[in-house]
Structure 1
Amino acid sequence: MSAQKPEAGCGAAIRDDTGRLLLIQRLREPEAGAWGLPGGKIDFGEPAMVTARREIAEELGIEIEILGLACIAETIDQGDGRHWIAPVYEARITSGEPEILEPEKHGGWGWFDPGALPSPLTTAALSYLSAIGTECSAQ
């Protein structure tokens, strides 16, 4: 039996008033080059919703309100041999305008209509789209 254990992360599906989804492009594994939901690794003792708000403030300089749990995403061995489990929350921006604050980690960001998503998408983004019943033509 392997000594490796799953790791925990979290993310947020942030939508604007028109229904567009905020996505960021990952530059690091897992899933380097793919577009996904903002978020990050959960620190020991930190509740996942707190992590989501903290990570998104660090990545994009925005404050969010968590509206509810959308789904649980699971990413297994997508290029780095690791296994991640991540709650994905639905959220909205309460203050700030998105900007890339960690250019070593993220190549860009944008608002995307669910019918015109960039490719490829991360496992978490695909899990979210599946959970809300959105067909994905990007993959």
Structure 2
Amino acid sequence: MTVKQQLRMAAYRTFYRLPARWKRRIVRTFQPTYTVGAVILVRDPEATRILLLRQPPGAGWNLPAGLMDRGERPVQTAARELAEETGIKVPLDRFRPANPNAVVHTRGQWIDMVFETEVEPSDTFEIDGAEVIEAAWHRLDGLPPLTVSTSQLLAHYGIGPYKDYPEVLTK
């Protein structure tokens, strides 16, 4: 056994003898932390259009989304954010986890919990003017300019400009 292996073994033995509170603090100090949010892929019943938002600074369109509040379940975040950003209220049981449900962004250190739902399209929205400039339905075969992160996320579901680029899914 090398000296490096012996030191590593001693470090682990010491770590496992520490109180749980100290172990948690050490792990949180040295491990990356991730922010968790919920993203909602809202389609019309025929699955030909999706709901997109333009948010400040308005450089592209994206999906309704937001960060989880402490103690909130991801599906609750999805329902809350959709209602806050568009005025569309959907019961929790009408959201289903997308496949994949969690998309991990290691470079930006965030996790998107993605949910899908269908609603009847309407051209009237109760948008939150502080967060949203515009909300609109867009045909899947004619999407407007999307933000890069939205394009990358939609590629996981076979939608958008990056859907035919497998390297996007391995980032």
TM-score (norm 1): 0.75
CA distance in 2 between counterparts of 1:67 and 1:84 reads 21
Structure with higher Rg: it is 2
Shift >3 Å, 4+ stretches: 1-4, 73-77, 94-98
Q: Which residue of 2 aligns with 1:67?
A: 96
Q: Which residue of 1 aligns with 2:157?
A: 132
CA distance in 2 between counterparts of 1:75 and 1:46 reads 21
Q: Which whole-Å deviations, capped at 9, do the CAs of 1:64-109 have from their partners, x for residues lacking one?
A: 22033233334567xxxx5321111111237987514311211111
Number of residue pairs matched by the alignment: 129
The alpha-carbon deviation at position 2 of structure 1 amounts to 7.3
Q: From the two aligned structures, give the one with the greater helix fraction.
A: 2
Residues 1:34 and 2:63 aligned together: no
Q: From the two aligned structures, give the one with the greater strand fraction.
A: 1
* Counterpart mapping for 1:48-59 below 5 A: 48-59=74-85
The alpha-carbon deviation at position 131 of structure 1 amounts to 2.3
Do the aligned partners of residues 49 and 111 (structure 1) sit closer, same or farther apart at CA in structure 2, a change above 3 Å counting?
A: same
CA distance in 1 between counterparts of 2:130 and 2:76 reads 23
CA distance in 1 between counterparts of 2:87 and 2:99 reads 23
| Stretches of structure 1 lacking an aligned partner (at least 5 in a row) | none
**Which of 119, 124, 133 is equivalent to 1:93?**
119
Q: Which has the higher contact order (CA 8 A, sep 6+)?
A: 1
TM-score (norm 2): 0.62
Do the aligned partners of residues 119 and 133 (structure 1) sit closer, same or farther apart at CA in structure 2, a change above 3 Å counting?
A: same
The alpha-carbon deviation at position 6 of structure 1 amounts to 1.6
The alpha-carbon deviation at position 3 of structure 1 amounts to 7.9
Q: CA RMSD in A?
A: 2.9
CA distance in 2 between counterparts of 1:114 and 1:57 reads 23
| Stretches of structure 2 lacking an aligned partner (at least 5 in a row) | 1-28, 163-171
Q: Which residue of 2 aligns with 1:109?
A: 135
Contact 1:67 1:92 in 2 (8 A): no
